[in-house]
Each structure stands twice: as C-alpha cells, then as structure tokens.
Structure 1
Amino acid sequence: MNRLQGKTAIVTGGAGGIGKGIATAFVKEGATVAIIDLNEEAGKQTIQELQAYQPESIFIQANLAEHDKLADLVKQVVDRFGKLDILVNNAHASRMSSIAETTQKEFDLSFNTGFYPTFYFMQAALPFLKETQGTIINFASGAGINGDVNQVSYVAAKEAIRGITRVAANEFGPFGINVNIIAPIAKSPGMVEWAEANPEYYQAMLAKIPLRRLGEIESDIGRTAVFLASEDASYITGQTIMVDGGSVKLR
C-alpha cells in the first residue's frame, strides 16, 4: 500500500470528518500530509493519529476565510517539504435556509469558507503543482446537482466550485496537472448527529441510496481520493466523481 509514496499533500478541513478520512487514507499509502483546519483541538488529535503512519505529517491551524493568508499557507508547506504533489480542497461551512429566508450572511459563510479558499488555494498551488505534475481534488455535492431545497447558499458555492474545476482542468491540463471533483455522501460525525436527531428523514434518505448505506469517510471517500491522486488516475481530469452509493447518476 504505497500508491502515494513520496508525495506531499495538503488537505483542508483535515481535522475531522471527510477530510480526516482522506488524510488517513493518504498517510497509509505513504504520503506526507499537511492538514489545515480551524479547529485546533481536533487538529492536534488528528495529527497524532496520522503521525503514527507518517511522522513528518503536520497540522496547521488557520481560518480559511482569511483569504489573503492562503498563499502563505501553501508556501509554508512547500518550504517545509520541498514540494507539493496533491491539493485537496475539502473544507466548507454553510447553513441551511430556503431562498426566501437566505441573506447575504449565508452566502458569505458558504463562499468564504468553500468557494474562495478552493479558488485561492488552486491559484497559489499552481506553480508548485506544475513542477510535480500534481493533482487537485475539489469537493461538490449531489445537493447542487439535484437542487436540494433549503440549501441555496451551499448549492451555489458547490456548483461554482464545479465550474471553476472544469476551467482549471482545461487550463492546467497542458502542465500535466489533473483536476477532479468528488461529490460524496458520507457517514461523517455531522451526518451521524443529524441522523440521530432526524431518524425519519435519515431513513427516507437512506432508502433513496441504491446501495442502502452511507459512505465510510476513509474506506469509501478516502480511497477514492487516493485513486484520483495516484498514477492510476493520471488520464482523468475535469470530472465529477459521484461517491454516493448511486444516488446521482450523471449524464
């Protein structure tokens, strides 16, 4: 299990949930990972777990809504490890609300923590990924593809991320950089908490998933990210990979 041996990765939102699952899958495949997260306590705990597999991996505490500092974070990682091979833009915060109830505040939260960090990290990482012919993995959602109700600010940011990912695939492809999207349904701590509070809605959602289960953050979502970051996926770019148990079937 050394598909990412010698590679260096940044995973935003890597202290918990899907980001932690990806970071864990990466270090088990030999990658050195820098997790960037706002949650200092969770970040310190997670990095201890990751270092059991890859001792050089690091945690950087940062607020991704401070967009003017994001390029410095990329440089910090490159200065530490000498290169960057993989960028995973996973972090995103949002609040549920209908179109009628949504204000600028909801849009600001969703775009400032999801869309803009994805854009600025891609921009800052480009010179370094050119050198390694590296990989970018961004995150979207079936909520955006389906237009789920009460998710307007989240959907807007996620579909905007899908748009700029396609542009990046076209612009970065000549440099040997592949840029793809994962759209997951996963058993993250937040999803488990929601399911426990809303059992009827959870069962209804589960019934719509052909495989009748939520994805595991490491073995399902993380392993898909490993594939996309490996040589096995070097001829795949500009694609939205639905890791959702068959819920959305793109045409």
Structure 2
Amino acid sequence: MNKLQDKIALITGGASGIGKGIATAFVKEGAKVVIVDLNEELGNQTIKELQAHQAESIFIQANLVEYDKLKGIVKQVIDTFGKLDILVNNAHASKMNSIEKTTQEDLDLSFNTGFYPTFYLMQAALPHLKETKGKIINFASGAGLNGDVNQGSYAAAKEAIRGISRVAANEFGPFGINVNIISPIADSPGVQKWAKEEPEYYQAMLSKIPLRRLGELESDIGRTAVFLASEDSDYITGQTLMVDGGSIKLR
C-alpha cells in the first residue's frame, strides 16, 4: 500500500464527500495530503481522521472564489512540503434550475466555484508540477455528458472543465504532466439527502446504472484517483474516466 509514498497532494473540497474519499485513499497509499475546504469544522474533523494514517497532512480553510488567494494556497503547500506532485480539483457548488429559469447568479455560482478555481489552480501549480512531472485530476459529470434537465449551469461548468483539461493535457504533456478527468456517480452526502427527499427519482436513477449501485467514495472513486495519481497511469492523459457503474459508455 505505497503507490503514492511521499507524494504531496492538494485536494479541493477535501473535507467531505468525494474529496474526503480521495484524501483517505491517498493517505492509505502513503501520500501527504493538503485538503482545502470552506467548511472549517468539517475540515478540522476530517484532517484528524487523515492524520491517523499520515500525521503530516494538513487542512487549509479557504474560499475558492477568492481567486487572488489561490496562488497563496499553492505557495503554502510548497513552503510546507517543498514540492507538489498531485492536484485534485474536486470542489464545486451549483443550483438546479431549468434553462428558462437559470439566472446569472446560478451561472456565477457554478463557474466561480468549479471552473475558475480549477483553471487558476492548474495555472498556479504548473511550475511546481513541471518539477515533479506531476498529475492533475479534474472532475466532470454525467449531467454535462447527458445534458440532464435542470442542470444547465452545472453541466456548462463541468463541460468547460473537460474542455480546458484536454487543452492542458496537450500543453502540459511535453513536461511529463498528466491531466485526466473523473466523471463519477457516488454515494455522497448530497446524493443521500436527495434520495430521502426524492425517493422515486433516486430509484429511477439507480435502476439505470448497470451495476445497480452508487460508487463508494473511497473504494471506488478514491481508488480510481489513486490509479490516476500513480505511475500506473503514466501513459494516460486527456481522458475522461467514467466511474459511474456503466451508466455512460464513451466512444
């Protein structure tokens, strides 16, 4: 269990859900992780759990929409650990609405928390990832690939992330940096809440998954991220990995 031994990973939205699942999988493989999250209480709680596996891991409380501070987050990682090997852009917030009713505020929420932090953190991390021939993992969604109704602002931002990730794969590849995308269906706290509020829609969604279950945060999504962050994926870049139980089959 040392695929990421002594690697330094920066994970946004790492205090809960998919981000926490990835961080947990990483520390169990020997990585030192820096989780970034807006929620200070959850962040402090999660980092204590992670430190049981990797004592040097740290939590940075930050609001990712404050773009002028993103370079400072990367600098703090470098000042603390001396390098950066892995960047995971996971954080994203959005509001469901039909296109007809989507407001500028809805669009701003999705792009300001998802696309722009992903872009600016890749930009800020690039000089350091050049030194380590590092890995970038960004996140897409079936909402963008399928065009799910009432997900206009979210789908738009997620597809923008896929687009810029492919550009980054081409631009960063000559430096030995891999850039890949995970598109998951996961048993996250948000999905669990939705399942209780809309059980019929939840069951309908579940029935369309060939494997008939949601992805586990650590063992399914986290372990896929370990693969993409490790040397096992050195010859894979610019790809979208559907970690969704077979729901979408890309060609």
Counterpart of 1:122, as a letter, is M
* Alignment partners' CA distance in 1, 2:190 and 2:25: 20
Counterpart of 2:54, as a letter, is Q
- Deviations along 1:10-58, one digit per CA (max 9) or x if unpaired, are 0000000000000000000000000000000000000000000000000
**1:48 matched to which residue of 2?**
48
Please give the secondary structure, in 2, of the residue aligned with 1:179. Answer: strand
**1:16 matched to which residue of 2?**
16
How many equivalent residue pairs? 251
* Alignment partners' CA distance in 1, 2:245 and 2:31: 27
Displacement of 1:190? 0.8
* Alignment partners' CA distance in 1, 2:236 and 2:171: 14
Displacement of 1:159? 0.1
Please give the secondary structure, in 1, of the residue aligned with 2:127. Answer: helix
Runs of 5+ consecutive residues of structure 1 not aligned to the other structure: none
* Alignment partners' CA distance in 2, 1:105 and 1:42: 26
TM-score of the superposed pair, with normalisation by structure 1: 1.00
Counterpart of 1:201, as a letter, is Y
* Alignment partners' CA distance in 2, 1:165 and 1:224: 17
* Alignment partners' CA distance in 1, 2:6 and 2:172: 22
Please give the secondary structure, in 2, of the residue aligned with 1:97. Answer: coil
- 1:1-251 to structure 2, matched below 5 A, reads 1-251=1-251
* Alignment partners' CA distance in 1, 2:64 and 2:217: 22
Counterpart of 1:249, as a letter, is K
* Alignment partners' CA distance in 1, 2:198 and 2:150: 16
Displacement of 1:197? 1.2
Structure 1 runs (4+) deviating above 3 angstroms are none
TM-score of the superposed pair, with normalisation by structure 2: 1.00
Please give the secondary structure, in 1, of the residue aligned with 2:74. Answer: helix
Please give the secondary structure, in 1, of the residue aligned with 2:180. Answer: strand
Displacement of 1:8? 0.1
Please give the secondary structure, in 2, of the residue aligned with 1:195. Answer: helix
Counterpart of 2:55, as a letter, is P
What is the alpha-carbon root mean square deviation over aligned residues? 0.3
- Deviations along 1:138-157, one digit per CA (max 9) or x if unpaired, are 00001100000000000000
